Structure 1
Amino acid sequence: DILEEMGPDEAADLLADLPKQTSTQLLELMEDEDAADVRSLLRYPEDSAGGIMTTEFACVPDGLRAAEALEYLRRSPDAQDDEAMYYVYLTNDTRRLCGVISLRDLVMAPPDAPLDAWIQREPVAVGPYTSQEEVAYLVAKYDLLSIPVVDEESGELLGIVTVDDAIDAVLPTAWKKRLPRFF
């Protein structure tokens, strides 16, 4: 139950640190959908974009108007699970990444307006095997709050790496211990 309450990326990190037999047993106890999310993350190297990404992010079908996109998000379980919704990703029916819009731009767009005027059609993205250092570099270079992780062949949106996970992945452990805890 505890693993299912964690985000899939956090559960995958925890299971990766356990002996193989123990992590396999724990995965078998999880709900099928939750276990599938965690298994998909465990197949990537720990120091790659796939290893630090989360599969909980907000996406809407491409081609919606602003009001339709907002309503879609209100009803979407994926959006409800997204604790750090900075961007909304637009995908086609095969989950290929078609663009991205900031949540602010989506909220400010006229309700009946097609989102095309606000969408960034070719967002900065990384593949699942991109190094965590490269992910952090791109997040910093383009001042991003999250970066999409896409399959290099199909263009399918696999997950996102949030800025905090990108920074956490490259900060030396000694620095992390010196940082004050606020909560």
Structure 2
Amino acid sequence: MSNPKIFVARLLGLDVFDPLGDRLGRLRDVVVVDRGLHQPPIATGLVIEVPGKKRVFVPMTRVTSMDSGQILTTGLINLRRFSRRGAEQTVAGDLFDRRMVLVDEEGRLEHEHESVLEDLAIERQRNGDWIVTEVYVREVTGRGAFGRARGQHRLVDWDRSRWARGTEPQGATSFVAAHEDLKPADLADMLHDMTDKRRVEVANELQDERLADVLQELPDDDQVQILSHLDIERAADVLEEMDPDDAADLLGELPDNQQELLLELMEPEDAEDVRRLLEYEEDTAGSVMTPVPVIMAPEATVAEAMATIRQTEISPARASLVIVARPPLETPTGRYLGVVHFQKLLRYPPPEPLGNLLDKDLEPVSDLAPVTHVTRELATYNLTCIPVVNEQQRVVGAVTVDDVLDHILPEDWRAMDPDQTPAPSTENPAPTAGGPASARGGAPAAPAAGPTTNRRT
């Protein structure tokens, strides 16, 4: 890009295009990250409003040109809804109109008047990073009839400015930034101990995927409280990021009308998986299973199976077992054939077909079998995952050991002392010989000319 200094306020509202000239959306904000007192903030990306009023994030590395009339990108855009994370701040949404003080080269106050930020300049460095280099402020020497600051404008270097006291970012933002490496379960424990107001504030600062991971570790009441305080579209986005069985459990706690509205807003494929789970009676294998286990055809090879279970989004429990079935391979599949254990994959050469390695002795459980029966099967055969089939012997999902743990532990186990041993649940007694045995048979730029106070927001 030629002359890379850009004043942000001049860009707001501009159209964004891909390399072919097709309009992608409109620029609504610029995302920056505060790096402390001695380093200027760095611009990490743009917030673009695409058709449907949805706002998405585009990294600065995908911006190829910016000028006073348009913005060009590589065209590669992740359509996931934008959500701030960590120490991220939006220029128009968080920084404009914040109070600042100007300092001299020694860092001492230049005068007693505070200033209000009205624009800032970002400039591209040789290494490709975009950093904030200047601020455009109005000195506050008085207030107009409608409370607007009066005083002269000044353009100063970033290092000659400081945020005024009392204008620091929200505590929730700082909390999220300080705990971004915390495991979801540990962060969930911290949220559980917070007040309702504080819990919602922190949840609003988490990215959709991160929030989904944390919600899955929270008690039902906390899940419902957080989801109910989210914007309805964002709530649907978060549910899409959750495992289908966890999303179904959460939706099951909501009123029918709210449940249906959220399902309508979810992507059809994700909603379909959740709807199927909601059809099952509580405490059955079908109600706790995941509808997206690892399923492959008998012609697939060991190499293909290893590449599949190596994917980071597949949990260790699901990766321990490859279910083999006839096409179609999406649940409900064709006829169930057997399973191949992860350890067996390690013992055979990459070209070996899975059909030659089947464990046919491990019988699947019925989707209507009680959870207690599934738990006994997992314990009896030392499994972390077991396939679930319907009465036509089609694979409809799989139950993992973590799926059943929540059902055999007391409802308040998260709030218990870590050293306290919970008593086993007795709500669903072990099946008798005459009951679940029958289940065997039924056995998823150019720069702007300068700063402006006529912002388009």
Partner of 2:320: 86
1:131 lines up with 2:370 in the alignment: yes
Select between 28-37 and 118-127 the one with higher mean Cα deviation. 118-127
| Residue 295 (structure 2) aligns with | 59
Q: Which residue in 2 is equivalent to 1:5?
A: 241
Alpha-carbon distance in 1 for matches of 2:355, 2:371:
31
The structure with more helix, counted as a fraction of residues: 1
Q: Tell me what 1:38 maps to.
A: 274
Identify which range, 133-142 or 111-120, moves more after superposition.
111-120
Q: Which has the higher contact order (CA 8 A, sep 6+)?
A: 1
How big is each residue's C-alpha offset from its partner over 1:121-175, in whole Å with a ceiling of 9 and x where there is no partner? 24231111110111111111111101111012x1111001101112221222355
2:298–2:353 Cα contact (<8 Å) kept: no
Tell me if structure 2 keeps the 8 A contact 1:88–1:102: yes
* Native 8 Å contact 2:367 2:390 kept in 1: yes
Q: Shift of the alpha carbon at 1:56?
A: 2.2
- Determine the C-alpha separation between the residues in 1 that align with 2:398 and 2:409: 19
Task: State how many pairs are aligned.
Answer: 176
1:29-68 residue CA offsets vs partner (Å, 9 max, x unmatched): 0000000000010000121000100112111101333234
- Distance (whole Å) between structure 2 residues aligned to residue 117 and residue 87 of structure 1: 15
Give the AA of the match of 1:143. N
Matching residue's letter, 1:101: V
The CA distance in 1 between the partners of 2:353 and 2:263, in whole Å, is 42
Q: Matched residue of 1:41: which SS? A: helix
Amino acid at match of 1:150: V
* Alpha-carbon distance in structure 2 between the residues aligned to 1:28 and 1:67: 39
CA contact (8 A) 1:48 1:129 kept: yes
Q: Separation in 2 of the partners of 1:175 and 1:74?
A: 31
Query: Corresponding residue for 1:15?
Result: 251
Aligned to 2:396: 158
Q: What amino acid is the match of 1:164?
A: D
Change (3 A) 1:110 1:54: same
Structure whose residues are more often strand by fraction: 2
1:111 aligned residue: 350
Farther off after superposition, 53-62 or 35-44: 53-62
In the alignment, is the contact (CA less than 8 A) between 1:98 and 1:122 conserved in 2? no
Of the structure 1 ranges 112-121 and 125-134, higher mean CA displacement relative to structure 2 is found in 112-121
TM-score by length of 1: 0.86
TM-superposed deviation, 1:80: 6.3
Q: TM-score, normalised by structure 2?
A: 0.36
Following the alignment from structure 1 to structure 2, what is the Cα–Cα distance between the partners of residues 68 and 175? 39
Partner in structure 1 of residue 446 of structure 2: none
Per-residue Cα deviation, 1:99-122 (whole angstroms, up to 9, x for no partner): 111123213311233334532024
CA contact (8 A) 1:136 1:166 kept: yes
Residue equivalent to 1:120? 359
Q: Distance in 1 between matches of 2:405 and 2:309?
A: 30
| Percent sequence identity over aligned pairs | 39
Q: Secondary structure at the match of 1:108?
A: coil
Task: State how far apart, in whole Å, the 2-side matches of 1:21 and 1:52 are.
Answer: 23
In the alignment, the residues of structure 2 paired with residue 54 and residue 2 of structure 1 have an alpha-carbon distance, to the nearest angstrom, of 17
| In structure 1, C-alpha distance between the alignment counterparts of 2:339 and 2:417, rounded to whole Å | 33
After TM superposition, where is structure 1 displaced by more than 4 Å over at least 4 residues in a row? Answer: none
1:99 match: secondary structure:
strand
Paired with 2:269 and 2:315, the residues of 1 have a C-alpha distance of 19
Residue 167 of structure 1 is matched in structure 2 by 405
